[in-house]
């Protein structure tokens, strides 16, 4: 991806800052392109950027190497739009989840190895949920792994650091947050999803227990407030200030947005495997 490297009026303000972009809802290709834009901007600024965004319709994002035929043959998601992420991991049903993308230069302390970035952001979410009386914890490294490429959905897999909760049934544990990365030459893009509320647009194997299904009788935090509190926790962990900016991509120029989104609309990308 190429883009302008012209100096920004925000230059000089960003090195000791966690910048948060609040974005409008968009379709899958636009959201994936916006995340690539985020990564390029994080590399240019040399600092951590975090983007919160929504989806104009329920959408399945596939991991970078998942087989398209598997998605197309699955009855539980028939008719739901598909987009392929540049990051790894399993498929996610978006629409009622809290979706984020974070990008950090590889020279940053959180950019050097995959697990460090997962743990930093997921650990901050554990603390944020605890503020709301919700107990979640990272899937431990020494626990029996359920990471299995044959499992189509991200929320059926378990990897070290995924966030889990007890419930909804007695004696069960459910994964409520997972993340995946694309590690480029100079920057790391991390995608992630917190299943805050159940998605009624899908059923069967595509429907995974959400926080709202688990904490029955207890209020579930509002998404924007939770996102903002999480951002503050992340910034606290880094010892930096939070700066909020209006996201430039989804609300930006139509032609530029379309040019960047075209790769993610192309079947050569979506059906690459």
Partner 1 sequence: MAADLKFAKTHEWVRPEADGVLTVGVSSYAVEALTDLVFMQLPAVGRKVKAGESFGEIESVKAVSDLYAPVSGEIVEVNAALPGKLETLGKDPYGEGWVVRIKADNPAEMDGLLDRAAYDSLVGSQPH
In angstroms, the CA 143 to CA 160 distance is 8
CB nearer partner 1, residue 54 or residue 114: 114
* Closest distance to partner 1 from the beta carbon of 113 (Å): 5
104 binds partner 1 (CB under 8 A): no
Matching residue, tokens 């530029």: 256
For 219, which DSSP code? P
End-to-end C-alpha distance for the chain, whole angstroms: 22
253 tagged catalytic? no
Structure tokens at 84: 């392929």
Three-class DSSP category at 60: strand
Site string for partner 1, 177-196 (x = CB under 8 A): -xxxxxxxx-----------
In angstroms, the CA 98 to CA 52 distance is 8
Out of 28, 29, 54, 86, the residue judged to bind partner 1 by CB under 8 A? 86
Three-class DSSP category at 220: coil
Contacting range for partner 1; rule: CB under 8 A; set: 54-62, 86-94, 125-133, 258-266: 86-94
Catalytic option among 71, 124, 154, 187: 154
List the Cα angle 245/191/250 in 5-degree steps.
40
CB nearer partner 1, residue 179 or residue 227: 179
Structure tokens at 193: 């999803």
Structure tokens at 4: 């302008």
**DSSP β-bridge partners for residue 191:** 101, 180
Site string for partner 1, 7-36 (x = CB under 8 A): ------------------------------
Contacting range for partner 1; rule: CB under 8 A; set: 2-10, 12-20, 105-113, 248-256: 105-113
* Closest distance to partner 1 from the beta carbon of 227 (Å): 21
CB nearer partner 1, residue 133 or residue 140: 140
Sites for partner 1 among residues 129-188 (CB under 8 A): 147, 149, 159-160, 178-185
Residues annotated as catalytic are: 154
């Amino acid at each position: 991806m190429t883009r302008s490297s012209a100096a920004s009026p925000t230059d000089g303000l960003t090195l000791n800052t966690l910048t948060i972009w609040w974005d409008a809802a968009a379709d899958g290709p636009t959201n994936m392109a916006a995340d690539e834009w985020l990564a390029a901007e994080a590399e240019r600024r040399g600092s951590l950027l975090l983007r919160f965004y929504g989806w104009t319709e329920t959408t399945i994002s596939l991991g970078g190497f998942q087989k398209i035929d598997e998605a197309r043959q699955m009855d539980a998601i028939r008719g739901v739009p598909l987009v392929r992420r540049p990051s790894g991991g399993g498929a996610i049903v978006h629409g009622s989840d809290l979706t984020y993308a974070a990008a950090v230069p590889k020279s940053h302390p959180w950019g050097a190895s995959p697990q460090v970035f997962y743990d930093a952001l997921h650990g901050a979410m554990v603390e944020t949920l605890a503020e709301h009386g919700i107990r979640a914890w990272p899937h431990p490294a020494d626990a029996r792994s359920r990471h299995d490429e044959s499992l189509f959905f991200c929320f059926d897999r378990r990897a070290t650091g995924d966030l889990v909760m007890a419930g909804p049934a007695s004696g069960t544990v459910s994964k409520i947050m997972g993340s995946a990365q694309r590690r480029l030459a100079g920057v790391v893009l991390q995608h992630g999803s917190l299943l805050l509320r159940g998605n009624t647009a899908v059923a069967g194997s595509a429907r995974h227990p959400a926080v709202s299904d688990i904490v029955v009788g207890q209020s579930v935090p509002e998404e924007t407030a939770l996102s903002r509190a999480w951002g503050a926790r992340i910034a606290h962990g880094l010892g930096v200030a939070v700066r909020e900016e209006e996201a430039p991509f989804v609300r930006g120029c139509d032609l530029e947005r379309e040019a960047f989104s075209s790769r993610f609309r192309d079947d050569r990308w979506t059906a690459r495997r």
